[in-house]
Chain A
Amino acid sequence: MIRLVQQIAAVVWKDLLIEWRGPARLSGLFVFAVAILLLMAFAAGSVEVMRKIAGGTLWVGMLLASTRSLDQSFSVEAEQGALEGLVLWPVDPLALFYGKALANALVLFGVGVALTPLTIAVMDAPIAGSPWVYLGFLVAGSAAVAAPGTLYAMITSQARGASVLLPLLLLPLVMPALLAASRGTTVLMEGDPMDQAGGWLGLLIAFDLVHWSLSGLLFSRIVENP
């Protein structure tokens, strides 16, 4: 058990170090999300509409950005043949999966945190509700995209047409999570008058539990006998 945690930590550290040493990718991700934010603001037209769609825009931006970053998560390894190396090493496939998923969730969470003040400013949508619940949405929402995203990125990175395939598989799957996160964030920005944010957060956490447990199992299954 302790070994598993150590291995997970090692994989997380390795992946975050890669992001840190090549900051072009991380900043590219952020700029991509900002571009979506601006596009949606132009499409909305009026400030009233912007306020209504601010929460949804934030999550659409993060989700689309995630399909770009997840794509990279395994292609970096594939380029150098490192994935085979990692699997051949005495690393538990569970540790490999949870390490990578955790690193992806952290990257996504970072993008979300950086995007928040911009969304508030551009869309004129201050968070009227509890900022802690908002932070909870960022954590749970990033995790919801990262778990199935990591699994599918591993699969599609080895298939033809990966850049089309990953969004095609991932977007419909995480739609309930996106719905919960964007609705919850939006009602939070409106001050949560009908006390709905907690319910949406609960739904998001339920999604996380299902997908974090299931994806790990399935990942180790397909890595052991590809």
Chain B
Amino acid sequence: MKLAWEHYIGLAGLVLMAAGNAIGLFWAPPEMMMGDVGRILYVHVPAAWICMVIYLVAFAGAVASLATARPGADALVESSVEVGVLLNVLLLVLGSIFAKPTWGVWWDWDPRLTASAIMCLTFVGVMVLRAMVDDVERRASWSAVTTVLAFVNIPVTYMSVRWWRSLHQVQSSSSTMSAEMWNVLWLNTVALLLVSIWFVARRYRIARDRADQLRAPPLEVAP
């Protein structure tokens, strides 16, 4: 049986992620300032970066969906919004786990973390909207509209939160990372990117299949 292309990418991602996480956990040197807690960054930072990449894909899919009304673009919106929210939730949980030993609180109101929490809510809204609308064409154009606005809102949200926080305290986030740590970080980022591509591709196929079923319900066979 011939495997679909995304399975090779997913498998490579899984292997890379296992290797990258093991290196991050056991081989990489402890971070200079934070010590072993710095190892959380090897999963936290890739989650943040890849989350943004996947949201960018969702935005591109939404623009394409509005411009062409093709079912493929809508399926891409559905799949990438869902995977983006998954990574977003992961990012928030990891950020919270990272904040406790580093700053002593579970939630730090760090501008990036706060902005991504708001970002998560806006994209969850898109998912709920999709669940509430049955008509395929309407669902496509409405969720494309909400996805575009949710994405455009990200920089605005980040700017406003950063400004708000800067009035209270200066958040030093310049990390003291060695070249060795950057290499481990990049390895884990590539691994998560490959795994996410597999997620989106699999989810895309499911979305296409469901949309086809909604569009053309199977004919009843007379008994």
Contact = CB atoms under 8 A, between A and B. Distances in A.
Interface of A: 148, 151-152, 155-156, 158-161, 165, 168-169, 171-173, 175-176, 179-180, 183, 194, 196, 199, 203, 206-207, 210-211, 214-215, 218, 221-222, 225-226
Given A159-B133, A173-B153, A225-B69, A179 B160 contact: yes
A226 B137 contact: yes
B112 interface: no
Contacts of A175: 118, 157
A210 B152 contact: yes
A206 B145 contact: no
Contacts of B121: 171-172
Contacts of A168: 124-125, 128
Nearest to B138: A226
Contact of B161 (A152, A160, A176, A218): A176
Interface in B88-133: 118, 121-122, 124-126, 128-129, 132-133
Contacts of B170: none
A160 B132 contact: yes
B82 to A, nearest CB: 16
A221 B141 contact: yes
23 contacts: A155-B145, A155-B146, A159-B129, A159-B142, A160-B132, A165-B129, A169-B125, A169-B126, A169-B129, A169-B146, A173-B122, A173-B150, A176-B156, A179-B160, A203-B160, A210-B156, A214-B152, A215-B149, A218-B66, A218-B145, A222-B141, A222-B145, A225-B69
Contacts of B150: 173
A175 B11 CA distance: 40
B125 A151 contact: no
Contacts of B163: 199, 203
Interface of B: 66, 69, 118, 121-122, 124-126, 128-129, 132-133, 137-138, 141-142, 145-146, 148-150, 152-153, 156-157, 159-161, 163-164, 167
A194 B125 CA distance: 37
Given A155-B142, A159-B129, A148 B160 contact: no
A176 B157 CA distance: 5
A155 B145 CA distance: 10
B149 A207 contact: no
B62 to A, nearest CB: 10
A218 B143 CA distance: 11
Interface centre among A173, A179, A210, A218 (most CB of B within 10 A): A173
B169 to A, nearest CB: 15
Contact of A196 (B124, B133, B160, B167): B167
B149 A214 contact: yes
Contacts of B69: 225
A27 to B, nearest CB: 30
Contacts of B133: 159-160
Contacts of A152: 146
Q: Which 10 A-B pairs have the closest CB atoms?
A: A172-B121, A176-B160, A169-B125, A172-B122, A218-B145, A160-B132, A159-B132, A222-B141, A176-B157, A155-B142
Which of B118, B149, B159 has the largest count of A CB atoms less than 10 A from its CB? B149
Contact of B164 (A155, A156, A183, A211): A183
A158 B163 CA distance: 37
Contacts of A211: 149
A147 to B, nearest CB: 10
A211 B152 CA distance: 9
